[in-house]
Amino acid sequence: MKGLRVSWFNRAKRKVETTQKKAVPDGLWTKCDFCTEILFTKELEKELWVCSKCGNHFMISTDEYIEILCDEGSFSETHTGLTSGDPLKFKDLKKYPDRVREYGKKTGREDAVITGNCRIEERDVVLAVMDFSYMGGSMGSVVGEKISRAAQDALRAQRPLIVVSRSGGARMQESIFSLMQMAKTSAMLSKLTEARVPYISILTNPTTGGVTASFASLGDIIIAEPRALIGFAGARVIKQTIGQDLPEGFQRSEFLLEHGMVDMIQPRSELRAAVSGVLDYMCEHVQATEQEGTDDTESPAVS
């Protein structure tokens, strides 16, 4: 247009100052898998890795479960030095011994479970915590042996046994040897039942396969974390087998609680208090029952 003067923006002439883009450190933010909320990682850690918006429980390490459950500094590891053999000479993409060494270096663990003695609210207990970062928490001969030994420790010392399960099931590289651990651990736990030694099973996300079908489901009290995936076979396999549509969320903690497969659901922040309360009740009940049995023996009934 006539008489219109156009003045183009010129960064150099106007002396506009520029600043370099600041890099955002890795791991500063974490996205929730359930609600997609972007969470400040440090705050998420303070909340024990539980989403403040939807309550989703992120997976945490074995050491963090020990810290949550045990009195500070009370955990003492037991049954170390056990490593998997290779009775089947199994090889997939790698030889089984090579895979075992690889996961050992990666996780710093000898296998997919750690056992030990500890105290929970000043009560002595035997604790076993599975490690999902070691081959998906799969149960091989070492896992079965260490769970069985932990049960033996609880039996000898007359201390409650607590097992925190996180597993993809039996370890395929050990085939029948891994499946035998189901019977082995179940047999040892039956001895705890006979001796009236409390056993609490804690199911976290995920607990599946042969672990679910054995010691994870045999607790006197079964506690699950919210929204934990719990089941034997995958949903697709079950659907193909029975030829029917499955209820929504049928392998989650809430569905299993509704149908009597677990006894309670406890958020991570209340897990220690819940375990302590259950132990108080169970141990007092056992003592009272034993006392009644002693009184009945000493004082025969009058006919």
Comparing C-alpha atoms, which of 276, 185, 267, 260 is closest to residue 228? Answer: 267
Task: Specify whether the CB–CB gap between 132 and 107 falls below 8 A.
Answer: no
Alpha-carbon span 248 to 243, nearest angstrom: 16
pLDDT at 104 over 60: yes
Average pLDDT rounded to a whole number, residues 194-223? 97
pLDDT at 271: 97
Average pLDDT rounded to a whole number, residues 224-228? 96
Q: Specify the pTM.
A: 0.86
pLDDT at 234: 87
Average pLDDT rounded to a whole number, residues 101-114? 96
pLDDT at 22 over 70: no
- Which DSSP helix (H) or strand (E) runs through 264? strand 264-265
Per-position DSSP letters for 81-124, written without gaps between them? S-----TT--BSSSBHHHHHHHHHHHHS-SSSEEEEEEEETTEE
Average model confidence (pLDDT) across the chain: 90
